[in-house]
Amino acid sequence: MNKYGLIGHPLGHSMSPLIHEKLFALSGITDYSYELIDIAPENLAESEDMLKQLKGFNITIPHKMAVIPMTDNMDESALRYNSVNCISNDNGIMTGYNTDCFGFVLSAENENLPLDKKVLLLGCGGVGRMIAVELVMHGAELTIAVIPQDIKIAELAVAEIAEKYDNANVKICLVSEIEGSFDLLVNATPVGMYPKCDACAVSDEIIANCGSVFDVIYNPVETLLMKKVRDMGKKAVGGAAMLVYQAVKAHEIWYGGKFKSEDIAEIIRAVEDEVNRMNK
């Protein structure tokens, strides 16, 4: 039996088993297990032998950088962000990947969001930095808006991007000083996440000046930001699709899995249904 899993700490309730079980089922694979493996940071190093018994595993906070020494190879996607969220074990050779970036791009492109236009990105933490790079790679005119205590983080990220991408068109501003109109607004902050669902990262005026919205949050299924956008008759995409697509990429890596778009859409709906059920 091939063993797979998700490592992180604390894990709490995770959508990963639901998503991966459905992907294995679509592939006709029954001889497997997928487990949640809660590993405290201080116990990660001593867990290496156990993890090397797995055929593949996903990685979430706080281990995305700490697992790098366990890898024998790093895919370009992992090198790009110095962050690993998926490892494949090929006869003892551990290769690290970053499938979060694929999850963002695939879910956004599937909804025809304008990644190459004028984009306002809220937040520049781990996922925000990854999205910033992807937007620059797609040719976006990017504005990163952050709160005052995150200015240094944003400046460091922009410096790294400018060093790697000659054509980077990026500027930084405070959320309180956002000006102008944008084709796309991306929320990469936790503002609006369950259980604080009555929070919105930006004002109605800023939302009105944006053509469409991508919110990385998947719980709740519809954040207050997304509701405001839809009430204005504009497109809003939540984070469930990104979550599913990054898992789809893991299955492509682990054993060459291939999936139909309609099957992926069904899994996204299942995730959203489960989130709604949990929140009742």
Tokens, residue 175? 């959320």
Cα–Cα separations (whole angstroms), residue 8 to 39, 42, 234: 6, 12, 36
Q: Is 64 a catalytic residue?
A: yes
Q: Return the amino acid letter for 224.
A: L
Nearest Cα neighbor of 207 from 188, 192, 226 is 226
Residue of 22, 52, 55, 64 with catalytic role: 64
Nearest Cα neighbor of 54 from 2, 132, 125, 126 is 2
Partner residues linked to 93 by β-bridges: 90
Tokens, residue 58? 């996903």
DSSP 105-165: HHHHHHTT--TTSEEEEE--SHHHHHHHHHHHHTT-EEEEEE-GGGHHHHHHHHHHHHHH-
Tokens, residue 162? 């400018």
Q: Give catalytic residues, as residue numbers.
A: 64
